[in-house]
Each structure stands twice: as structure tokens, then as C-alpha cells.
Amino acid sequence: MKHLASIATAAALLAPTFARAGDPATIIETPEQQKERMAWWHEAKFGMFIHWGIYSVVGGQYKGKELPNSAEWMMCRGKIPIAEYSKYAEQFNPTKFDADNFVKMAKDAGMKYMVITAKHHDGFAMFDSCWGEYDVVDATPFGRDIMKELSRACYEQGLRFGFYYSQAQDWHHPGGFGNNWDKSLKKVSSDVYANEKVIPEVEQLLTEYGPISILWWDTPRNMSPEAFAGIYSLKSLQPGIITNDRLGKDIPGDHKTFERHIPDRGPVDKAWEVCMPISGSWGYKKIDTDFKSTTTLIRNLADIASKGGNYLLNVSPTGEGVILPQAQERLKQIGEWMRVNSDSIYGTTGSPFKKLDFGRCTKKQYAKGTTLYFHVFDWPADGKLVIPGLKNEIKQAYLLDGWKPLETTQDETGTTITVPKDAPDAINSVITVQVAGKLEVEQSGIVQNQDGSVDLPAADAYIHNNEGSQDAALQDRGDEPDNIGKWTDKEATVEWDFKLTQPGTFDVIANIALEDDSALTFTVNGETVKTKVKATGGYGSYTEQTLGSFSTTAEGNYNIRLKPDAKNWKPVNVRGLKLITK
Ligand code: H79
């Protein structure tokens, strides 16, 4: 359905009245206010992502052939002309779709919010778009507004609802990014695209679809400051809406987005979410049987919560409107686990322990104490669960399943909880421990050698790779030492925590291999040192190079972070750092 009025309002009124994204004028709330706005999201921890579009009709197959990669990318991967691809709409008739049922499935799994593709890169609107007729209501035999049905069902069942909207790529609009295969497309600027499609469509989504809690942008591209400002400003139409960090490079959004991959550690001082398909593909793909096990999914949820993040788990409805039985079964099993253990997920914050051999920890802090939830993946065969480094006195400990009290002993070597012989849950048994007073956990971690030096090997590094890409990842080299490699991303950083008992001045020595001269920085104690590294003759030729030095005067916990010096950065492989006293 085309509404001309809407186009005029959005383009003419909204765009010019807002400051450019990133301008101080756009910072309209304090960090505390932002925290308050996001309180429900932090509490929620777990949401359902849905990728659904006209690609779902063919399940990744084109002209009898399998296209590689995720099914929603098929138009691009198959270089399918618009005229041909748009015909899938004529076959899109998901008569088995039942919005109430989708929402119930999410709710029964313990999910608290739903985010669905209103428009993916293919440009097809899964709602009655005001931009034209390329949408589910006008172009398909189904003729129903799927977004409206889901929004209403979420509202009725008390689930938060949000839209995924691909704001930059559009393989159907002449001003969208991405389509370089269909020569019939007479290209126009992305400003035209933003003004005539993105802004009106998103305005419509934020005004005609009830309360919208999330706008989930994807694949940022360079658009004009005016286009960014116009799109960014739309969020004022839904007070309290939460947006991710994928609108544009300099527009931070409310939370960072990791795709398909769980970071070693969450970003500091920034909300974050991991999105991941339950199988291999985001959109429904016939041959995709790569479903993650229920064990993996439940442990992922605990892992992410233990690092302070949210989990947005994707399912892929078919062209008939059905969520596959494999996905349904897993959601049901997660729900069964959540019915017993959700106290250990909802409203929790990250673990105070860096690493626990047996599993993960989440916590809730109160004025006079803390509740710790130990997620035990590997149940102790000897009936003794050892908690390293916990200094607080334990008030009580019990199995979350059935509240069975457990005995604990505490001495200098640590805290031990006596547990039943058999794990109550083969995947993740939760033990709740209440402690009083300010939480005190002594970290075992990297400590100084006798001679005062400190070894920081690749395997002990925390790697922060942008959006969970495989850039800057730990490479397992078998008999050779592991290294951090494929570090092509200038935004990726690598850090180590260590403890100094003998402070002093240290040289920072990198064990490093690189093809071209490169430049990076290291930061210790808030002080950053810029440094250059020399080509070593190849990515397999390691040498030791001194990056610089730093001084400390106090004993205690420290952290060193390596970061590309963006201007002169060339990829490096790093086996680790060594700190040597001067
Ligand atoms: O909607 C899902 C993806 O389709 C979308 N983000 C999630 C939430 C996404 N778009 N782009 N990307 C993710 C990253 C780009 C991946 C690519 Fe490829 C690698 C593009 C081309 C090579 C994977 C392989 C997708 C197509 C081929």
C-alpha cells in the first residue's frame, strides 16, 4: 500500500530537524537514564530472532541447485535478477502461520523478546509497506500483514517486540547498496533510497505497529550525514526503544552486536548481545540440518549471561509458516530447563570469576550480599565442587532444582560445596550460593615468575573482535605454539590480565610474525604507548620485538591491551607477550 503523505512527512519533516548523528546535541540522556531505559532488556537476557522472507519459499535452492551460505542471501549469491526473484512473492503463502503460536513458542522457551526481519537485504517488506507494493500484503497470495499479527500477539502475551530492518543494503531499490548484478537497475543515490524508502517504512513500522521495543539495524554502510540523521531520528517515535550498533560506524546505538560468535569476554561498559541461528542458516534452508544441540544452546545462554550479555537465538520459519520440529524440540527443552533454572538467568549480571573449570557463574547483587549461581556443566565425580578464590562467608547453598540445601566448608584453600553423586541436570545444574557483605573473589590468573617476568601467551588472551568476526582469533597450531592470527581488523583488540607481586619497570616484548611493517599501541594502567613493529619475513617467521616499557609502583591486578594503530596497521600474528623487569 502506498501512502504518499507518509513519504512527504518523513522526508521533509524529520530529516532536517535533527542534529547529525554523533553531534553532541544527539546525546539526550545520561548514562543512568540509558541504563534505566534498558533495564527490561538486561533483565530479559534471552530473545527470539526470526528470519523470514520470500526466500523461505525455496529454502536456499535456485534452479535445482544449492546456493552456498545463509538462505536470506540467495538473491545475491545466485545473482538472481529482480524480475525473477520478486516472483517468489507469488508463491509465498504460509497458510500454517499462527502468530500466537510463534509467540507462545518463544515464551515457553523462556524468551522475553522477539525481533523479526521486517525487511532484509532483498528489499521485500514483510508488512504492508507504504513505499509501494513489494510487500507481503500486496504481492503475495497470503495477503496478511505478518508484522502486525506478530506485534499484536506479542502485546497480548506480554513479550517485547522489535523489528530487524536492513537500512543500507537493498537489492531491489535502485538506491540501495549491494545489487551490482542486475543491470536493469538504474542506480540512484542512497539519499533517494533513504528518503523515499527507509525513512517512510521505518516511520510506518514505528507508528502503526503498536509498542516497538527494539530496532535492529544491520550491515552499516556509508550514507550521507543527512540520511543517517533522518534514519537515526526515527527512534524518537517510540520512546524507550533500544537500537543496536549497526546503523553507521559512528553511531554507537545502545548495544554492541556479536554475530554467530560468543566473545571471550563482554565489552566493558557497553551492553551487548550475541545473535546466532539455531541451525546453520538464518533464513530457512532445506538442506540445513546443522542444528545446535540443546546442550550447546543452554550452555551458550549461561555462558553469555556469565559474561553479562543477551542471547538472541534465531529460528527460520518455512514458506508454509512452520518452525521446523528440530527447532521446536530444542526450544521446548530450553524451556524445561528455564522453568527450573531461570532465576540463574533473568536479571543476573556477569561472573565475578574469570574462569571456572566446571562451568559458569552468574550473580545478583543486593544491598547486603550477593547471590551467586554456579552453572555446573561438568559435575564433580567426587561429590565436591571447589569454588576457587571466594573469600566471603557462605550463608547458604542449595540446588536451584528443588532447593535442596548443600553443605559447604571454607578454609584458606578455598570453598567446597558437597553435592549429590549425580547431576540433577546433565546439561547444566545450577547451585545457588548466598554470601553476605561486599563480594570478594581472589582471581587465580597469570602471576609473576620468580625472576619478576610475566608470560602472557596467546591462549590466555581475551580477544575482542569486531562483531564477532573471525578476525583476530586464536589459532590452534597443534604442536606449534598457538597464536592470535587473521588479525586484519583494525578495531579488534587483545588483552591479558595479570597480577604483579613485585612492581617495577617492565619491557614489553612481543613474539610476533608479520609480512609488512606495522604499528600498534599497548595500554597498561590507562597509559598508552604507540609503537612500530618490523616485518619478520612472513606470517610464520616469529621474532621477539620490544614494544616499549611501562612502570608500576603498586602490587595488584593489571591489564595490558594491544590495539592496532589504525593508520599504519598491517596484520600480525602474535604468539604472546613477555614482560621483563628492567
Ligand atoms: O541477517 C543475518 C545476516 O544475513 C546478516 N546479519 C545477520 C543477522 C548479515 N549480512 N551480512 N553479513 C551478515 C555479513 C556478511 C557476510 C558475507 Fe557472505 C560473507 C557476505 C558475503 C560473504 C555469508 C556468505 C553471506 C553471504 C555469503
User: Is the beta carbon of 201 within 6 A of some atom in ligand 1?
Assistant: no
Q: Who's near 543: CB < 8 A, 6+ residues apart?
A: 511, 512, 513, 536
Beta strands in 291-358 (DSSP E): 310-315
The confidence score (pLDDT) of residue 334 equals: 99
User: Is the beta carbon of 489 within 6 A of some atom in ligand 1?
Assistant: no
The amino acid that residue 238 corresponds to is Q
pTM of the full structure: 0.87
What distance in angstroms lies between residue 478's CA and the mean position of ligand 1's atoms? 30
What distance in angstroms lies between residue 518's CA and the mean position of ligand 1's atoms? 29
- Closest residue to atom 2 of ligand 1, CA basis: 282
What distance in angstroms lies between residue 219's CA and the mean position of ligand 1's atoms? 8
User: Is the beta carbon of 52 within 6 A of some atom in ligand 1?
Assistant: no
The confidence score (pLDDT) of residue 152 equals: 98
- Closest residue to atom 19 of ligand 1, CA basis: 69
What distance in angstroms lies between residue 216's CA and the mean position of ligand 1's atoms? 15
* Cell 548495544 sits on residue: 255
234-244 in b/e form (b: 16+ CB < 10 A) is bbebbeebbbb
Q: Where in the chain is the domain with CATH 3.20.20.80?
A: 7-344
The Cβ of residue 141 has, within 10 Å, a number of other Cβ atoms equal to 10
User: Is the beta carbon of 275 within 6 A of some atom in ligand 1?
Assistant: yes
Q: Which region holds residue 355: left if phi is over 0, alpha if psi is between -120 and 50, else beta?
A: beta
What distance in angstroms lies between residue 164's CA and the mean position of ligand 1's atoms? 14
SS (H, E, C) 138-195: HHCCCCCCHHHHHHHHHHHHCCEEEEEECCCECCCCCCCECCCCCCCCCCCCHHHHHH
Give the helix/strand (H/E) hosting 340. helix 325-341
> How many CA atoms lie within 13 Å of 544's alpha carbon, on the beta-carbon side?
7
List the one residue out of 94, 548, 538 whose CA is nearest residue 323: 94
Q: Are 44 and 346 in contact (CB under 8 A)?
A: yes
Looking at domain 7-344, what is its CATH homologous superfamily?
A: Glycosidases (3.20.20.80)
Q: Who's near 325: CB < 8 A, 6+ residues apart?
A: none
In angstroms, the Cα distances linking 424 to 45, 379, 401, 415, 431 are: 23, 9, 7, 21, 10
Which of the listed residues 219, 244, 316, 467 should we mutate to test ligand 1's pocket, taking the one with most ligand atoms within 8 A of CB?
Answer: 219
Q: How far is it, in rounded angstroms, from Cα 297 to Cα 540?
A: 36
What's the CATH architecture for 454-581? Sandwich (2.60)
Q: Where in the chain is the domain with CATH 2.60.120.260?
A: 454-581
Ligand 1 atom having least distance to the Cα of 51: 1
What distance in angstroms lies between residue 492's CA and the mean position of ligand 1's atoms? 19
Q: pLDDT in tens for each of the 582 residues of the chain? A: 777 555 444 444 343 333 444 444 455 789 999 999 999 999 999 999 999 999 999 999 999 899 999 999 999 999 999 999 999 999 999 999 999 999 999 999 999 999 999 999 999 999 999 999 999 999 999 999 999 999 999 999 999 999 999 999 999 999 999 999 999 999 999 999 999 999 999 999 999 999 999 999 999 999 999 999 999 999 999 989 999 999 998 898 999 999 998 988 888 789 999 999 999 999 999 999 999 999 999 999 999 999 999 999 999 999 999 999 999 999 999 999 999 999 999 999 999 998 899 999 999 999 999 999 999 999 999 999 999 999 999 999 999 999 999 999 998 878 999 999 999 999 999 999 999 999 999 877 888 998 999 999 998 898 887 655 567 888 888 888 899 999 988 889 999 999 999 999 999 999 999 999 999 999 998 899 999 999 999 999 999 999 999 999 999 999 999 999 999 999 999 999 999 998
Q: What is the DSSP string of 375-427?
A: EESS--TTSEEEETTB-SPEEEEEETTTT-B-EEEEETTEEEEE--SS-SSSS
What distance in angstroms lies between residue 84's CA and the mean position of ligand 1's atoms? 22
Q: Where in the chain is the domain with CATH 2.60.40.1180?
A: 359-436
User: Is the beta carbon of 282 within 6 A of some atom in ligand 1?
Assistant: yes
- Closest residue to atom 24 of ligand 1, CA basis: 69
Give the helix/strand (H/E) hosting 295. helix 294-306
- Closest residue to atom 9 of ligand 1, CA basis: 219
Q: Are 514 and 570 in contact (CB under 8 A)?
A: yes
User: Is the beta carbon of 122 within 6 A of some atom in ligand 1?
Assistant: no
Ligand 1 atom having least distance to the Cα of 314: 8
User: Is the beta carbon of 73 within 6 A of some atom in ligand 1?
Assistant: yes
Ligand 1 atom having least distance to the Cα of 218: 6
User: Is the beta carbon of 72 within 6 A of some atom in ligand 1?
Assistant: yes
What distance in angstroms lies between residue 70's CA and the mean position of ligand 1's atoms? 7
SS3 label, residue 493: strand
- Closest residue to atom 23 of ligand 1, CA basis: 69
- Closest residue to atom 1 of ligand 1, CA basis: 282
What distance in angstroms lies between residue 544's CA and the mean position of ligand 1's atoms? 37
For 359-436, CATH gives: 2.60.40.1180
Beta strands in 21-90 (DSSP E): 46-50, 61-62, 65-66
- Closest residue to atom 13 of ligand 1, CA basis: 219
Ligand 1 atom having least distance to the Cα of 120: 1
Q: Are 569 and 517 in contact (CB under 8 A)?
A: no
Q: How far is it, in rounded angstroms, from Cα 240 to Cα 161?
A: 12
Q: Are 455 and 444 in contact (CB under 8 A)?
A: no
